Amino acid sequence: MATKVTVTGAAGQIGYALLFRIASGQLLGPDTKVELRLLEIEPALKAAEGTALELVDCAFPLLSKIDISSDPNEAFDGAQVALLVGARPRTKGMERADLLEANGAIFKPQGEAINDHADRDIRVLVVGNPANTNALIAMSNARDVPAERFTAMTRLDENRAVAQVANKLAVGVDEVQDLVVWGNHSPTMYPDLFNAKVGGKRAWDVVDDEAWVAGEFIPRVGKRGAEIIEARGASSAASAANAAIDHVRDWMLGADGLRSMAVPTTGAYGVEPGIVGSLPVRLPGGGVYEIAEGLDVPPFSQERIDKTMGELREERDAVVKLGLVS
Ligand code: NAD
Ligand code: LMR
């Protein structure tokens, strides 16, 4: 039996970088057939059909079927894995509340459609921005689906942070481990070197340069998305798709060490329950994550974690006010 994977925003840039990798087996492994469900808005259906033609032309042995729809009820029918990529970008003159409201109009009905039509065992990754709060909206509108099935992506931020540390120390990226990003996928995010390791030693000690960590590393990782937009004239696509593959593959198939995932908060680390914040997780496989407790949180980290989680609380309050989350 093929696993039904729904991808929203399938005709977009990330969709184009993502779908071929899913169909080739990089998401769920070399032994799992996939059935793709592509969700797009009406005007982009033709472009999604074009992508589907190309997927067919790859003759991927693991790709058993492709369906395309503009109806969330159809696209999520029986879905076992969902990657929610399509979102409303911020346009000129749009305030944060307008952006949250516009995205609510996407993620509320998608949450409802997941609730009513998806497989009971579904796993959801939200990529479309503002990813954490979009995940909260979808989760809150899928009352019959356990909250922990909804996650948002901070793996790109983790990967970016790993690459920055490896570059600073002139070591391979595989030397850098357990580098967790806390909080919101926004410039307030906190990449944590106190629990990260380089060659088995505490990364904070190996780097040994607080001015670089506070003044360059943390802001650069937080604003890397903007740096990419400035350079490419478009937001990150292949690296975002790559991180989405990393996130779901590790969640489903398991991974060693600590990873960053934005998950519904439970009170761990004193973070108020009821937001979707990035935390350190362990991934034993089978679509399970465990929040890693007992990590070192010195005042340098606490101050930054409080700030980024506080921003998420404000976003939560704004969408509650808009009636998108109860
Ligand atoms: P894009 O504009 O190229 O594509 C988005 C696609 O979504 C479009 O084809 C659009 O038609 C579609 N879409 C819009 N509303 C939809 C709906 N209701 N249902 C289904 N599809 C819908 O954008 P992109 O570059 O692919 O980026 C997608 C999102 O991912 C953006 O919100 C972007 O900011 C975000 N992003 C997140 C991260 C992260 O790390 N979390 C990284 C990069 C980009
Ligand atoms: C990224 O981190 O690359 C994106 O979230 C940036 C964006 O605004 O799309």
Provide the b/e sequence for 198-228 (b: ≥16 CB within 10 Å): beeeebbebbeeeeebeeebbeebbebbeeb
Residue 160 assigned to a binding site: yes
pLDDT value of position 91: 80
Establish whether residue 312 lines the binding site of ligand 1, counting it when its CB lies within 6 angstroms of any ligand atom: no
**Ligand 1 neighbourhood includes 153 CB (under 6 angstroms):** yes
CA distance 8 to 6: 7
ipTM attached to this prediction: 0.99
pLDDT digits (tens, 9 = 90+) for 262-272: 999 999 999 99
> Is it the case that residue 232 has pLDDT exceeding 90?
yes
Q: Which of 269, 261, 278, 262 is nearest to 297 (CA)?
A: 269
Tens digit of pLDDT for each residue in 88-145?
Answer: 888 877 887 888 999 999 999 999 999 999 999 999 999 999 999 999 999 999 999 9
Closest residue by Cα to atom 1, ligand 2, is: 225
Q: Give the distance (Å) from ligand 1 centre to CA of residue 84.
A: 8
Nearest protein CA to atom 3 of ligand 2, as residue: 225
pLDDT score recorded for residue 98: 87
Residue 199 assigned ligand-binding role: no
Q: Tell me, what's the pLDDT at 92? A: 79
Half-sphere exposure of 249 (CA within 13 A, CB side): 18
**206 band by pLDDT with thresholds 50, 70 and 90:** very high
pLDDT at residue 326 above 90? no
The whole-angstrom separation of Cα 286 and Cα 37 is 22
Q: Is 237 in the pocket of ligand 1 (CB under 6 A)?
A: yes
Tell me the ligand closest to 45's alpha carbon. Answer: 1
pTM: 0.98
DSSP assignment of 187-213 equals TT-EEESSS-EETTEEHHHHH--HHHI
The DSSP-derived string for 208-247 is --HHHIIIIIHHHHHTHHHHHHHHHSS---HHHHHHHHHH
Element (H, E) at 255: strand 255-264
State residue 148's pLDDT score.
98
Pairing of strands 34-39, 63-69: parallel
Record the tokens describing residue 201, joined without a space: 């030693």
316 is in an annotated binding site: no
pLDDT of amino acid 97: 83
* Ligand 2 atom at minimum distance from 90 CA: 8
Quote the percentage of the chain above a pLDDT of 70.
100
- For the segment 21-61, what is each residue's pLDDT rounded down to a tens digit? 999 999 999 999 999 999 999 999 999 999 999 999 999 99
Helix (H) / strand (E) element for 37: namely strand 34-39
- CA 112 to centroid of ligand 2, rounded, Å: 26
The whole-number average pLDDT for the span 295-322 is 97
Whether 228 lines ligand 2, by a CB cut-off of 6 Å, is yes
Rounded Cα–Cα distance for residues 285 and 249 (Å): 9
Is 13 marked as binding a ligand?
A: yes
Which tokens go with 42?
Answer: 């009406």
* 177, 196 Cβ separation under 8 angstroms: yes
Atom of ligand 1 nearest to the CA of 109: 18
Ligand 1 atom at shortest distance from the alpha carbon of 16? 26
Using the predicted structure, report yes or no on whether residue 176 has a pLDDT greater than 90.
yes
Q: What pLDDT was estimated at residue 95?
A: 81
How far apart CA 270 and CA 4 sit, in angstroms, is 37
Q: Are 43 and 12 in contact (CB under 8 A)?
A: no
What are the catalytic residues?
185
- Give Cβ neighbours of residue 252 (< 8 Å, ≥ 6 apart): 27, 28, 29, 81, 123, 285, 286, 287
- The response to whether residue 184 sits with its C-beta less than 6 Å from ligand 2 reads no
Atom 6 (ligand 1): residue with closest C-alpha? 9
What number does the ligand 1 atom closest to the CA of 72 have? 19
302 is in an annotated binding site: no
